[in-house]
Amino acid sequence: MRGIHDLGGLPAGSVDLEEHEPGYWEKRIDGIRLLLADRKRRLITVDEMRRGIESLGKDVYDRLGYYERWTASVTGVMLEKGVITTDELGRKMAEIEERDKARLERAGSGDG
């Protein structure tokens, strides 16, 4: 059976071969993945990353970009293993949203 990620042989249009500089958050998720997989921690494997990405479901998989899939996979594996809890994740996400909202408000008022 073909997985959602397996596009080999299917019509998919042209591939964008343009190089681009990874964004800050893309570099960050790559760093997080490397730290979680290093010899000291061994909290995630390549196989777990792949399983997490391949199990996203077609709608989610198609909607997310490359590093967004990585983020979803790392998050899912860390939740599965109990490294983080949904409460911790929710609190951190709320904290980041508030910080971003405050930064945008400062920028809009000319103070940022």
pLDDT of residue 108: 85
Q: Token pair 């909290």 is at which residue?
A: 43
Q: Would you give per-residue pLDDT tens digits along the chain (112 residues)?
A: 656 665 666 677 787 788 889 999 999 999 999 999 999 999 999 999 999 999 999 899 999 999 999 999 999 999 999 999 999 999 999 999 999 999 999 998 876 5
pLDDT of residue 38: 96
CA distances from 34 to 2, 38, 76, 103 (A): 29, 6, 16, 29
CB 72, CB 80: distance < 8 Å? no
Name the nearest CA neighbour of 25 among 53, 66, 79. 66
Cα–Cα dist 42/36, whole Å: 6
